[in-house]
Structure 1
Amino acid sequence: MTIPTRRHLLAMLFPLTMLASCGGSDVAPTPTSLSLEKIGAYDGAAAGAAEITAYDPPSKRLFVVNGANGSVDVLDLATPSAPKLLGTISVAALGGGVNSVAIHDGLVALAVEAKVKTAPGVVAFYNAADLKFLHAVGVGALPDMVAFTPDGKSVLVANEGEPNSYGLADSVDPEGSVSVITVNRGGTPTVATAHFKDFIGREADLRNAGVRLYGPGANAAQDLEPEYIVVAADGKTAYVTLQENNAIALVDIAGAKITSVKPLGFKNHNVAGAGMDASDEDGGTNTNSGTPAIKIAPQPVKGMYLPDGMAMFSVKGGSYLITANEGDARADWPGFDEEVRVRAHCPLGLDPAVFGADAANLLFDSNLGRLRVTSTPNGGKTGKNALGQCSELFSFGARSFSIWSTDIVRVYDSGDELEQRTKALSNVAFNASHDNNSLDGRSASKGPEPEGVVVGAFGDKTFAFVGLERIGGVAVYDVSVPTAPVFATYLNTRTGATGDRGPEGLALVMADKSPNGKPLLIVGNEVSGTTAIYQLNLTY
């Protein structure tokens, strides 16, 4: 779970940015290189005070979800180097707090969860220019993310439908869904629901295909939890990450119907270039009392992608999805906790037929013993053989970003490159978390934890910007060849346990809509509560 809040909230590209990411101008020059420069910041002065951001070009206003207050801070971004607070949108009369914000042509949409998160939430609409409240419409439980279609006529909402607990007397597990709101500017919006009811009774088929359904007592509609939405350029199809389920759902927008649920499969961490640092006590040999050290190497582990943020882009006539493979565990629910360390999960050892002659040594904490894995890979499966020995180990997240075709076939994964790129940082310890500066602090969990991703086209090149939630910073890749991305740059603006920490939401502002005429990347840093303004410096 994301700390300090549960909201796995990701940034949203306002529609003009999304259009740019899907092709760009035919006459725009193509840069030879790109770098990031931090030019401004706003300090919300509280953990959680900067999460999701969205920019309104006409008013030059930046809307920042303030999770600490359950509201939205409205910043004047006319001078990007010096953002100023203009006002705050309170939703106290509507629900328990804001989870996400999106803007299209001056219309602001806010996802507002109910005061009891398992109850239906609302989407509230406001005028960007004067912050006037317009309408509120009911949606599903725990609306976690909102996105406009490119034409601005519809708003899609990922209703996560998290339970409050499992198997207890007061347990409530609402169904996940996707709301399709017809905006109807000047009138009252209408809502249709794309639900998962048609998959009830088909749980075995979904599990056999690789979709994770494992919440105790939950049917498919309850267990499938929408997290993040991207919309195709033609506005006909939406793609929705189902994070805990390690899958992506496809939505027919006009019909408000879930057409399919596609499993993402698993990453093989046991090959060169796809390894991980699996322990925070790996400074020793076959020991349970080692010290932190940097050891990135192949491991006999399967990584569940479990993506949070996602973006869509087009190059040379083909469309692709890119996912930030954060990983997430159902680990803090009363009545159920799937997260366990390997040594505790495998008290009878590892299956030597699978793990080889070194199976016993792998259980030491300096090897795989402290790695967090799931006790429930899928349904009633445990990943153990008839003797009770572990035959498969499934870790959370892939510590990478991946690129997929629109029929959900993986065409690229960044392997262990994000850990490799961050190990030489001088301003923060390797695999430190966002609330400390401890060497190896996240190695036994999800490493740098990629959470958000946005894309933008500049001439003939398309770049992806990937936020790393734990160690921090933004990694930039040229994804113009989707099967072979090229590293462009990486910027981390934290200093030990201070500075910008916990990048949660990313928003890209293209030059023609930017207040200073330069492309900007806006990052909401959840843990430090700071909103950072980065300028993209392009070299031609």
Structure 2
Amino acid sequence: MPSPTPRRVAGTAAAMAAACALAFIPTAANASVEPDTTDIQVLTINDFHGRIEANGDEVGAAVLAGAVAQYRSENPNTIFASAGDNIGASTFTSFIQDDDPTIDALVAAGLDVSAVGNHEFDQGFADLRDRVIPRFGGGDWASGVDYALGANVYAKGTTDPALAEYAIREVDGVRVGFIGTVTSDTATLVSPAGISELDFGSQLEAADRVAAEIADETDVIVLLSHSGASGDDCAALAGEDSEYGELVRNASSDIDAIVSGHTHRLYSCEVDGRPVVQAYQYGTTLGALDIQVDATTHDLVSIAGSTIDLATQELDENGEEIDVPQFPADEEVQAIVDEATAEADVLGQEVVGRISADILRGGNPPGDDRGVESTMGNLVADIYLWSTSEYANYGGAPADIAVMNPGGLRDDLLYGEDGTVTYEAAAAVQPFGNTLTTTTLSGAQLKQLLEEQWQPGNERPKLHLGISEGFAYEYVDEAPAGEHVVSMSLNGEAIAPEDEFLVTTNSFISAGGDGFTAFLDGTGTSDTGLIDLSATVDYFAEHDVVDPAPLGRAAEYVAEPEPTATPEPTPTATPEPTATPEPTPTPTPEPIPTPSPTDAPDEELAPTGGDVAWPLAGVAAALVAAGVLLVALRRRERA
């Protein structure tokens, strides 16, 4: 937790002394004693991105200016500040005119001071220095430097500031200091060729260093950081493991509030007693810091943050919800917008093709999540591959694979009533004017490129590349660095580490943008000279209807379940055959001798008693012998 600022200590001591004195004054007298303060309001925007025209909850530059004017009329001590990305990735009206209308509109709206965002470097440092800054200053470079504060932007290889580090604005005798910083990974977010003379250092180090330098010259210090939390939850913000989380927790206590941007979030939090705000994006919302300073001592009495919706949803006469601006449009700014719109209309409304359905970026709403596969990302990769293989304006060797970075996709293509696509709509998707390049990568380098999608610790921990038709891979999200990609194939054939492929992308990525440094290890990099927008328009002309590119080219790996081993059947022992006992021989009874008949007389005589007795006795004796024998046999069997 930061130690109390000297200003806060002084204010606390003064309050305690006053409290002690008041203890001896009658209660009735206490009611009449109130602190004499100077009330200051700081209104903030971030990530305006050239949204000068009204579009629903994007109220446009004129209503934004009207809101600032109304608050200034209520409190003249109002300062209008930005946390960066005022220009770049703009809608067609501003983009087609190099964002000059946006600069003019913000100056007319009363913008006082701004940090530099990464998109201020889209066209290179020379463009920022020689065109953008002077235009903010009405043609004078020195008057424009306060609109591009960058305390952590240094001349290459030095710690010499390349931009103004801070600005001080005095209102009603109170000096408010503004320090500007930009995310330290800016070098990976813009074309490296355009910022080759710059280094981007730690925001925390720069903010603390400059705060210490200007503490004696200021009464209040506000940090304008073009960096932000990954979500809208204040508890998560306070514990976030990122450069920004470290900044909001550990910034010097000399810094009284932090205004942030870059991540397009909406929050008003307090971290360790210090307000931290971000006002979403595109001029939909104002951030606000309400500051009270002791009018005599200039000690800070209180500071609190909030956000203000510039449009609210109401029901129209048909009962449908519509966005209604809550402030009147400023006439001067509206005239700037109208002129810019008229100039862009002629070219912008030209129909360049047709689509069969909505083609969207990742997330819900579309564009909210750069870490997932999208139909838009894959389609643009298909266009890149077509442009460097079949396109009549391309004269190089045919490419094998193309990839597209999600940060380069700034809008969706919506079917609307009939699927027509205008030049303006196509330009809104890719507003940076990059050229297409080709580079030879090995299978191993191609895997490295895919692994670089995972960027833990960054504000966006994953950037999912769009990939062209025929190329596919499987991945595991939760894996150690370098081990996310499980397999790769091209047209169904597995890719080996030593295989070589000609890969197309845009000049931003091929120079190592967005942290995709694998292209720097490739060979034979060639700039085709083809502009991404021109190639896209010609692609639409060659195709009667363009379909959304299918999803599933990148598939999360699902391990096949290991087969369950079938247990070997336990052999059942075959019982030894039971020996059949030899049958016990049944003794054959001795034959009973049959007495030989006596020779009968020739003449048959009647038997006499003696003659009959003898045969009967023999029969009886035989029967008795047989019975004895049978009894003996049965006893033997039982035994």
Give the TM-score normalised by the residue count of structure 2.
0.24
Determine which structure has the larger strand proportion and give its number. 1
More helix by share: 2
* More contact order relative to length (CA 8 Å, sep ≥ 6): 1
TM-score with structure 1 length normalisation? 0.27
Task: Give the structure with higher Rg (CA).
Answer: 2
